[in-house]
Chains A and B, each alone.
Chain A
Amino acid sequence: MHPRLELRNISKRYPGVVANDDVSLSIQPGEIHAVLGENGAGKSTLMKIIYGAAHADSGEIYCDGNLILAHNPAMSRALGIEMVYQHFALFESVSVVENIALSASSAFNLPSLAEKIRELSLRYGMPIDPHRQVHDLSVGERQRVEIVRCLLQAPKLLILDEPTSVLTPQAVVKLFDTLRQLAAEGCSIVYISHKLDEVQELCDTATVLRNGKVTGTARPKETTSLELARMMVGSKLPEMHVSPAAPSEKPVLEVRDLSAKARDHFGVDLKDVSFNVHGGEIVGLAGVSGNGQAELIALLSGERRHGQGDAIKINGTPAASLRPDERRKLGLAFVPEERLGRGAVPSHTLWENAVLTAHRFGTVRKGLVDRRRAAAFASGIIDRFKVKANGPAATAQSLSGGNLQKYIVGREIALAPKLLLVSQPTWGVDVGASAFIRQTIVDLSRAGTAVFVVSEELDELFEICDRLLVICQGRVSPPLLRTSTDREEIGLLMTGRTMGKDQTGSSSVALQD
């Protein structure tokens, strides 16, 4: 029997990097095949080549034994190859069925399409109501829409790119059931991930990529995670050093009964949020995205102000109605989740981006920008945080995501903050750089800074945080000590199950089944 998909000696090079170097792999019908690798290992490029969104410089792709020539996404769909992207492409303002109809290649009839969606989603154990508006859906539900959209085409090969990064542990279990059912019916699945435990639980075979090359193939269920990790990151695994926290007596950040309406109807209202962060400790906020994290972080950073000044206190000073630069004078520094356009101006150079928040640190004198000092400041960050950049005159948009993140984290840490807010510190950052950023954050906190981290990656929070909070539909749980809680408890809190009965809104319903 021919393999469902076979890649032979695929190579792809972009200016300056070899994204894929002589990659071969084959996937049988009904097989769940993992493509493992750090960010930047070449997984995404390889998937784009399989899907036809990018073209290999050399090598061949066979589908069911037939060589694919002129390849493009339309051809993929004709061949039965479907892809669920990491970032969804849904229109928020229309319903599920309308979204799916928009991507249909042929004529459609909305009522019968809706019936099909309902039927198919039930059959695979992930019910969705086709007439719900997409902006009302949780991230997990949106992913279901994307998957159902693919399933409607009766695919022979389904590609999923980091599908669990936005899901609760419970939702991951449901997703895996669906995928196993699909595989049992003969659909091949390519599962892209850097999470070893998931791959070991779900996948039959794995191809590991590093620096664009295949560094190994394995049967994950019969391989230890240490072996897989070695293949992924090479011999030297980064190690974290987390010494015990010594929290300060008084809290640096105090939040008391903070309530706020969402800014638009896609947002979430915050309800009576209260917590403290002391100097010398790291407090993490866990939660499925879209449960009020964006609102909370905007209120803490000052990008959004609050009428009741003492709802947020920094070092005892009421700060809720202060602007971001006024809060920074109180010792705040902040790393936002969007690097380009929020944490940095894309078209500006790195030294100009240093002035963005470091203008009180000698880079501006007598109202004029001191270019020499700004460049020296930027060079300092580049050296100290090993940012791969073409010097301080490189533009922010010319850096890779991980390097820009290192630069922004470095810039904020160089401000010697008393309070550091970090949102998604290692989103899209490779394993090596992630470990470095996490270690830097831990070191900063052990030197006395209060750190508040918002992240959707539970592993990360468990690795670095001393205390954990969970946000669900705008409510924040009481703090949990990392040493006395586990993923299960956090996962339940993320779905809002143990947080009272009055708030079983749409997203928690979806995440429960």
Chain B
Amino acid sequence: MRIAAPVLASVLTLIVGSIFFASLGHDPLPTLYAFFVEPLSSMNGLSEWLLKASPLILIACGLAIGFRANVWNIGAEGQFIMGAVAASGVGLFWSDPDSALLLPLMFLAGMAAGMAWAAIPAFLRSRMNTNEILVTLMMTYIATLFLSYLVHGPWRDPAGFNYPQTALLPAAAMFQSFDPAYRLNSSIFITVVAVFLMWLFTDRSFLGYKMSVSGAAPLAARYAGFRESAAVWIGLLAGGAAAGIAGMAEAAGPLGQLSPQVSPGYGFAAIIVAFIGRLNAFGIVLGGLLMSLLFLGGEGVQMTLALPSALTRIFQGILLFFLLAADFFIFYRIRLVRPAPDAHALETAR
């Protein structure tokens, strides 16, 4: 049943999507084809598909570790941005731009920045019992504005015609593409390792077991003496680290510089990926591929059929909506409650 809900939600999303296309005056079937199949029919399309799936899967893996323990990190977007900022800072200003250590240093900087950004809500939650949903979300806006300040002000490229963006990162600060014609690069191996680590942690490790007890039955966790604050810290730091690394890989991969639009919403979309993947490593891979396809398809029909760019977000929203609804109807049954019988009903009963 746990697998039925995402499948059902995907099918319903397609149906509602078709109705949606029809109402915009497009024949649904060719439009769906343009949305979901055409992007995957070229080498470049496949490269872009994996390129976009990679950060989604990476972030979702980190988030799911917290979600399993009922630690709700909604601020991966902010942690992603801070990771990109810190990594780019190292890449741009490190004394030796040709050093082979540059990329590993940027990796560490991105991870540390993401974790630091998540550590603030973790500290507030474990010490002052603040709500991590609100704090992580608000921290995202701070991160967005901080990035905007940097690229408009101190870090703006002097040779960039006043565009709000930094200079390009040096070559040693970039992941190598597999083929110069396509953008897919070696950072995807980070995601592969992350998926394995996530599986190992949640399915096999004692620490992951403790986290799942905290999530499924907090009183049982207290009964066994598992520390609640440990679950909060691990949950938020795992999400922060994953998002920070994803931000670093985005800056050091397809972008090569910072601009206000570092993230097309990966941090928020990854929340949906984690849930569609049922917080399970393998499921998250599938969920990430699906969500990446929504991004690609949205861009595709925007160009070929002149459909609005909001379409991607609409599809994401419909998918999440149906997933939650499907879960609800799978775990609860609706029962009609009849009103109390009146005297007349009693008569007939006799």
A residues adjacent to B (C-beta < 8 A): 66-70, 72, 74-75, 77-79, 105, 301-303, 323-328, 334, 336, 338, 341-348, 352, 355-357, 359, 364, 367-369
Which A-chain residue is minimally distant from B218 (CB atoms)? A341
Q: Which residue of the partner chain, among A69, A70, A367, contacts B206 with CB atoms under 8 Å? A: A367
Which B-chain residue is minimally distant from A364 (CB atoms)? B206
A324–B204 touching, CB < 8 Å: no
Provide the residues of chain B in CB contact with A336, threshold 8 Å: 223
Provide the residues of chain A in CB contact with B346, threshold 8 Å: 75, 78-79
The CB with the most chain B CB atoms within 10 A, among A70, A323, A356, A357, is that of: A356
Provide the residues of chain A in CB contact with B192, threshold 8 Å: none
Q: How far is the CB of A289 from chain B (nearest CB, A)?
A: 18
Check: B43 CB closer than 8 A to any chain A CB.
no
Provide the residues of chain B in CB contact with A342, threshold 8 Å: 217, 219-220, 223
The distance in angstroms between the C-alpha atoms of A68 and B345, with both chains bound, is 11
The distance in angstroms between the C-alpha atoms of A328 and B225, with both chains bound, is 9
The total of chain B residues at the interface (CB under 8 A) is 25
B224–A325 touching, CB < 8 Å: yes
Given A75-B341, A326-B225, verify A356-B213 contact (CB < 8 Å). Answer: yes
Q: Which residue of the partner chain, among B220, B222, B349, contacts A344 with CB atoms under 8 Å? A: B220
- A–B Cβ pairs within 8 angstroms, 15 of them: A69-B349, A77-B340, A78-B340, A324-B225, A341-B217, A341-B220, A342-B217, A342-B220, A346-B216, A348-B212, A355-B206, A355-B209, A356-B224, A368-B205, A369-B206
* Interface residues of B, dominant DSSP: helix
The distance in angstroms between the C-alpha atoms of A347 and B1, with both chains bound, is 14
Provide the residues of chain A in CB contact with B340, threshold 8 Å: 74-75, 77-78, 105
* Interface residues of A, dominant DSSP: mixed
Interface residue ranges of B296-350 to A (CB < 8 Å): 338-341, 345-346, 349-350
The distance in angstroms between the C-alpha atoms of A355 and B216, with both chains bound, is 15
Given A72-B338, A75-B349, A334-B223, verify A359-B216 contact (CB < 8 Å). Answer: no
Check: B226 CB closer than 8 A to any chain A CB.
yes
The distance in angstroms between the C-alpha atoms of A345 and B223, with both chains bound, is 11
Which B-chain residue is minimally distant from A359 (CB atoms)? B206
A345–B349 touching, CB < 8 Å: no
A324–B222 touching, CB < 8 Å: yes
A74–B341 touching, CB < 8 Å: yes
B residues adjacent to A (C-beta < 8 A): 204-207, 209, 212-213, 216-217, 219-220, 222-227, 338-341, 345-346, 349-350
The CB with the most chain A CB atoms within 10 A, among B204, B205, B206, B220, is that of: B220
The distance in angstroms between the C-alpha atoms of A368 and B222, with both chains bound, is 21
Q: How far is the CB of B140 from chain A (nearest CB, A)?
A: 32
Q: How far is the CB of A349 from chain B (nearest CB, A)?
A: 12
The distance in angstroms between the C-alpha atoms of A28 and B204, with both chains bound, is 62
Given A66-B349, A72-B341; 5 other pairs, CB 8 A cutoff: A74-B339, A303-B223, A355-B206, A368-B204, A369-B206
B223–A324 touching, CB < 8 Å: yes
A70–B349 touching, CB < 8 Å: yes
Provide the residues of chain B in CB contact with A72, threshold 8 Å: 338, 341
Provide the residues of chain A in CB contact with B213, threshold 8 Å: 345, 348, 356
Which B-chain residue is minimally distant from A105 (CB atoms)? B340
Which B-chain residue is minimally distant from A363 (CB atoms)? B206
Which A-chain residue is minimally distant from B203 (CB atoms)? A369
Which B-chain residue is minimally distant from A322 (CB atoms)? B225
Q: Which residue of the partner chain, among A344, A352, A369, contacts B205 with CB atoms under 8 Å? A: A369
